[in-house]
Amino acid sequence: MKILIIDDEAELRSSVADVLKDAGHEVVEAGDDAHTAQALVDRGEFDLAISDVRMPGIDGLALFRRARTTAPLSDFILMTAFADVGQAVAALKDGAADYLTKPFNIEELLHQIARIESSRSMRSELAQARHALAQRPPRNRLVGESPQMLKVQSRIEMIAQSDAAALVHGESGTGKELVARLLHDRSSRSDKPFVPVNCGAFPETLIEAELFGFERGAFTGAIKKREGRFKAADGGTLFLDEIAELPLSAQAKLLRVLQEGSFEPIGTNTPVKVDIRLVSATHRNLRQRIADGLFREDLFYRINVLDISLPALREREGDLPILIQFFLEGFGSPDASGRRRASPVSGDAYAALTSYAYPGNVRELAHAIEHAVVLAGGGEITLDHLPAAIAEAGMTHSPQEPQPEAFVAPNGTMRLADAVKAFERAHLRKVLAAAGGKRVRAAEMLGISRKSLWEKLRDDDVDEATNR
């Protein structure tokens, strides 16, 4: 980060500046000249200002409060004597990032800076996500900017106007029904019905009646005639979700409907003609189901004229921030204008959300955000508000910060170089984990070049430790 140090003690300024420069930050020093310090802060060029509270020529608290207006994107750490702690705590409520009580050890400062750096990275990602969401066409409910999702978007646009049967496959929770609805909404059938059926939700004895309908008296309990889902979807789109669960008897009848364009409701020999576009979906391997004798091969080729493969969330590089922001806004409380306000997220909670693997994919992420928003009650979302599995994963993947006592020499003195080195190693691991192991992203988050990151990883054996 670009850091400004404001203190009238030249020796303290210099020693802190040296440590921060060694840690890879760009540092500018300012003394107690009120005009110079104020001008530097007002420019808003600094990510972080570290300022003493009491100096002969300037009031650090007044400088901080002025910066809230002139440089709202800059963070502040206040350095204070013990007697001024009350004022520093009050400044925290006004938006200061943190405070240090003099005298302080450098590890404490480095820890605070690492936390601020992580928080700034999170805010930057969410700001970019808000911008990306604002650019989306209002009718596009498929959220994502990753190459994988852009490919899906292109595929949808390409095949939406066709009447050919389409098969959507992907893991549970990846958004298969959403894709089916988009295919319908962007087709020439968009003003006709979209009828979804979950084939796994009905027992074998009822699925045929649900799909094709029945005449009164066709079986026990059939007290009146009922039209099935095929008839309900006439002119529009029929979506058969979890089609792999369809029993073989119903598969045979479905194949006949697709071949002939008509079917016979249960209890009658009178054919009913329908005009539908069939979209099917499954999370199973249908070719394996065919090999196991559980799915008809001829039906497979009928329903799989066109196909769309949905990637798992863990494969969608860069999409997590925009999805998190999307659900934060979607589940947030409406403000006076009716627009939903996204709840703020703590750095630890955001790190947990972005490091979790999401076996349940986008559906699990949506549930996690809704869960957290409700428990937070409109306030900041912390680790305590997240589902246990995600919170635990966040704590598991967050390396422990080095403890100061681990670097105390036998004579009781602190080995500063060792402490800085150990902190840097732990912080590199933490950022690499938050970046999903991607070095380019980690370098961006750290504010250093890829070459510098590579050299640090090589010198400290962080790469091997991270991959263990």
pLDDT-derived band at 29, boundaries 50, 70, 90:
confident
- Does 222 fall in a domain? yes
Per the structure, the count of domains in the chain is 4
- Considering only CA atoms, which of 301, 280, 305 is closest in space to residue 176? 280
pLDDT at 440 over 80: no
- Of residues 184 and 411, the one with the higher pLDDT is 184
| Residue 361 and residue 439 in one domain | no
The residue segments making up the domain with residue 427 are: 404-467
How many whole angstroms separate alpha carbon 311 and alpha carbon 359? Answer: 12
pLDDT the model gives residue 412: 46
| Residue 183 and residue 303 in one domain | yes
Q: Are 360 and 172 in contact (CB under 8 A)?
A: yes
| Residue 187 and residue 223 in one domain | yes
| Residue 261 and residue 189 in one domain | yes
pLDDT-derived band at 280, boundaries 50, 70, 90:
very high
| Residue 260 and residue 223 in one domain | yes
- Does 333 fall in a domain? yes
C-alpha to C-alpha distances, 380 to 91, 217, 346, nearest whole angstrom? 18, 59, 6
The two tokens of residue 262 are: 């008509």
CA angle centred on 380, ends 376 and 383, rounded to 5°: 75
Strand partners of residue 26: 2
| Residue 19 and residue 32 in one domain | yes
pLDDT at 137 over 70: no
**Segment 12-30 mean pLDDT:** 88
**Segment 35-52 mean pLDDT:** 84
pLDDT the model gives residue 350: 87
**Segment 153-163 mean pLDDT:** 94
- Does 110 fall in a domain? no
pLDDT the model gives residue 138: 52
- Does 61 fall in a domain? yes
pLDDT, tens only, 365-381: 999 999 999 999 888 89
- Among 268, 294, 310, identify where a domain stops: 310
- Does 115 fall in a domain? no
- Does 342 fall in a domain? yes
- Among 375, 397, 419, identify where a domain stops: 397
- Does 433 fall in a domain? yes
**Segment 97-121 mean pLDDT:** 81
Burial class (CB in 10 A: 0-12, 13-18, 19+), 333: exposed
- Among 310, 336, 363, identify where a domain stops: 310
How many whole angstroms separate alpha carbon 69 and alpha carbon 46? Answer: 14
pLDDT the model gives residue 422: 66
Pairing outcome for strands 48-52 and 2-6: parallel
The average confidence (pLDDT) of the chain is: 81
